[in-house]
Amino acid sequence: MKPIFIGDKEISDAVSPFVIAELSGNHAGDINKALALIEAAAKGGADAIKLQVYRADTITLKSDNPDFQIPKKVGNKWESYGTLYELYEYAYTPWEWLPELFAKANELGVMLFGSVFDETSVDELEKFNVPAYKIASPEVFDIGLLEKVAKTGKPVIISSGLSGLGDIELAMQTLKDNGCENIVLLKCTTAYPTPFDQVDLRTITNMRETFDCQVGLSDHTTGITVPLASVALGCNVIEKHIKLDNESESVDSFFSLTVEEFSMMVRELKHAWQALGKVSYQLTTESAKNRYGTRSLYVCADIQKGEAFSEQNIKSVRPGYGLHTKYKPEILGKKARKELKLGDRLSWDVIE
């Protein structure tokens, strides 16, 4: 599968996963928290940091009609916001912050880009020459937006969270038909937090085969177990929400990693990727040092010269310096060329 590049970072099986820190609305409307999150994510090892670039009036309508009310159901952490407009008005990242946020990212040497939610947000991010674009799960259905993003010529990362197979096929074809050659498809479950039994990580290998593109994971579970498991199934991009600490209350904080947890995830993702290695039946350097620990044939009772080898005087034991155990049937009944003591290795030169 061909590698792609976001900025100067390669995305392929040959390198450790590309890790994206999702800020979302975890700045809670405070630019200083947004700047602190960028700095913390960069120090924590993120390859890129992602914003959500929209305004309430570009993503929904200011209406309290039933269609626009947030469902009232058990466990819905966003129910208190009332309507979609009120939720997004609280959670959005003010566009006037963008110059300062991009300046901070440039200062730290970390990539910053965004999820886009309508064509005006694409125009806004083009001012900053972002290295890629993200299409969130609901926007997979906005064909005009997909066409606009594809025509920028930038790599596109797209989440599958609300899409069936046909929806993904249409979105991928739309991107390709409009000039996008570099696509990363993220396995995603749109549930906050996602129950572990609804992640369906086995879909990842099928995504790779079906769409012949780099794949990754946009994860909304708690903890870091699922991202680590996804690496073994071929994920080369991991996206995870980040918050400053457990005391920071914000719109997405209840399923986000703290800075410390995020840093640990980055470290362990590299370890998981290193552990994949390659297909090999050769002993590694470290394994070869322990080769002596295998079984082989040894004398287990003193043997006189000319005495026959039997089950009573030779045995398969550790270590592995003697003859291979496969020769035992051939040796039984043959005679010793010399006197042998308990603990002597069996070798062909002591067998008549």
Residues whose CB is less than 8 angstroms from the CB of residue 248 and which lie 6 or more positions away in sequence, other chains included? 26, 28, 33
CB 110 within 8 Å of CB 37: no
CATH superfamily of domain region 9-55+92-276: Aldolase class I (3.20.20.70)
What is the distance of C-alpha 154 from the center of its chain?
22
Widest Cα–Cα separation across the chain: 101
State residue 302's pLDDT score.
Answer: 98
Helix or strand or coil: residue 305?
coil
Q: Domain residue spans in the chain?
A: 9-55+92-276, 285-350
What stretches in the chain show pLDDT beneath 50? none
State residue 288's pLDDT score.
Answer: 87
From the options 3.40.50.620, 3.40.50.970, 3.90.1210.10, 3.40.47.10, give the CATH code of 285-350.
3.90.1210.10
State residue 153's pLDDT score.
Answer: 97
For strands 257-258 and 18-22, give the pairing. Answer: unpaired
State residue 307's pLDDT score.
Answer: 98
For helices 143-150 and 165-177, the axis angle rounded to 10 degrees is 40
The model's pLDDT over 46-60, given as tens digits with 9 standing for 90+, comes to 999 999 999 999 999
Question: At residue 203, what are phi and psi to the nearest 5 degrees?
Answer: -65, -25
**What are the tokens at 121?**
């947000």
State residue 74's pLDDT score.
Answer: 58
84 closest CA partner among 56, 116, 58: 56
State residue 164's pLDDT score.
Answer: 96
State residue 25's pLDDT score.
Answer: 92
